[in-house]
Amino acid sequence: MKYKALAAAIALASVNAYALEGTIVNGLEEPVAGASVKAAGLPKGVITDEKGRFDIPGEIDELHITAPGYSHKTLHLHEYNQQGLVIKLLPTVIEQVDVIGLPIHASVIESALPVTVLHGEDLRRQQAATLGDSLERLPGVTTNFHGNVASTPVIRGLSGPRVLITQNSLDVSDVSRVGPDHAVASEVSTAQQIEVLRGPATLFYGSGAIGGVVNVVDQRVPTDPETRGEFLVSRDTVNNQNLASFNATTGTENAAFYVDGFWRDADDYDVPVAPEDEHEEEHSEDGHDKGEHSEEKTVANSAEESNGFTLGASYLLDNGYIGIAAEQFNREYGIPGHSHGEEEGGEKESDEEEQVFADLEQKRYQLQSEFTIDSSWLRAINARAAYTDYTHSEIENGNAATMFSNQTSELRLDLFHQELQHWKGGFNFHYKHSEVGTDGEEAFTPPSEAETFAFAVME
């Protein structure tokens, strides 16, 4: 009886030790070393050795292979003989970037949907203090440039509530779409990539984002324990802007940790000509005006100061992960053109004008998980949830003249079924509840409460 139990234990161990083995080669049948091989739905991947070989434990149905200088490859293993698996990669000069904002895995090249991704060195070269200014060089995207402090993206001529801005596929939940002088509560310097989705891809985010969706992606909920990080220190002379930011990920076999932070400080920015000439009209006999022109060549009230940090942690399993993250975001910035001069009888009582500035604060908590399921009909379950507490005050004479607030709870749940007659897809459930409040002198929009439910089938 003991021998039978021992034999059963050995057999069970051999099943659990099952590994998919293969080799990555190029078009000349040469091994590709350093390629990343990852099973769909699993947080941990492997790197090929100098002979292009890899092995991944567990029952695997789909592989994603990437390597510098080669096209991204997706492999459905039921279509291949898994004995002595040899995978060939084709060379390419185009960087392959996975699109996080789409519920079904695809890279920029694989996706037939109109998606643009700003990533890597391109992102670092083009990043600016605001999201709109960071994206203005992308095709079909401009910015509503509001004094270098509150610029938001304009996609195909549409802006405001017609362009949804998300953080890791969940609504950023600020009030940037209420007015052009409201900044987006998302930081570019700590982001991994920024995705711009247009056309049918926006239907995954509801019927309101007819212009497009801008998805800011970071690793605040880490998906692997690899130790990596980056830091950035820069200075702009046009506004004496100083910026310092960093992000880092590390972990152990079953735990991963993430931290990021940034600090930015800038003065009023310089322009080639005086932006606001003080002009006292003095009509001469010939009808021409005489006036005094200011020599000040800076945009008044365009300074800003912002800072923030994020902490995240995940628990890693063989079939997925679950993680949480917490963010604190603060920003204080002037609002150009929003100063109020006191006048009486058509004459100014004082040469000093009141400077209006905005004080923005946001706390955001996020939960994210992805699990593969060994079921006859269910393949994977992905979940994303967030709670955001946002406040925004416009300060005049040291007092909060107008106040905005937004408390939002959101949940996205994806259920992916097993492949059925070569159809691959799943079901999506989306819930969002938001309470937006306004109070003060310029509270033009009434307080509102919205609750949204959505159900979708993706194939």
With respect to residue 183, please indicate whether it lies within any of the assigned structural domains.
yes
pLDDT band at 80 (very low <50, low <70, confident <90, very high): low
Say whether both 53 and 131 belong to one domain. no
Average pLDDT, whole number, for the chain? 82
Closest by alpha carbon to 194, among 225, 222, 172?
Answer: 172
Residue 186 to residue 199: CA distance in whole angstroms = 23
Predicted local confidence at residue 84, as pLDDT: 67
CA distances from 337 to 127, 132, 146, 451 (A): 25, 19, 10, 36
Which pLDDT belongs to residue 315?
A: 96
Is 287 inside any structural domain? no
Q: Which range has highest mean pLDDT (120-134, 193-207, 269-283)?
A: 120-134
Is the pLDDT confidence value at 17 over 50? no
Q: Report whether pLDDT(271) > 70.
A: yes
Q: 3-state secondary structure string, 33-47?
A: CCCEEEECCCCCEEE
Distance between CA atoms of 302 and 150, rounded to whole angstroms? Answer: 10
Q: Give the per-residue pLDDT at 282.
A: 46
Q: How confident is the model at residue 351 (pLDDT cuts 50, 70, 90)?
A: very low
- pTM (predicted TM-score): 0.78
The reply to whether 134 and 84 lie within a common domain is no
Q: Using 50, 70 and 90 to split pLDDT, how confident is the model at 348?
A: very low
**Domains: count for the chain:** 2
72 with 199, same domain?
Answer: no
Residues 233 and 367 in one domain: yes
CATH number at residue 9: 2.60.40.1120
pLDDT surpassing 60 at residue 291: no
- Say whether pLDDT at 43 is over 80: no
Q: What is the pLDDT of residue 7?
A: 46
- State the pLDDT confidence band at 209, using cuts at 50, 70 and 90: confident
pLDDT in tens, 388-441: 999 999 888 878 888 999 999 999 999 998 888 888 888 999 999 999 998 887
- The CATH number of whichever domain residue 409 belongs to comes to 2.170.130.10
Q: How many CA atoms lie within 13 A of 183 on its CB side?
A: 35
pLDDT-based confidence at residue 106 (cuts at 50, 70, 90): low
Most confident stretch, 62-66, 222-226, 395-399: 222-226
Q: Are residues 71 and 177 in the same domain?
A: no
Which amino acid, 354? Answer: E
Whether residues 188 and 327 fall in one domain: yes
Q: Can you give the residue range of the structural domain that contains 14?
A: 2-88
Under 8 Å between Cβ of 327 and 220: yes
Stretch 435-453: mean pLDDT:
86
Q: Are 135 and 318 in contact (CB under 8 A)?
A: no
Same domain, 80 and 125: no
Closest CA to 171 of 459, 454, 420, 458: 454
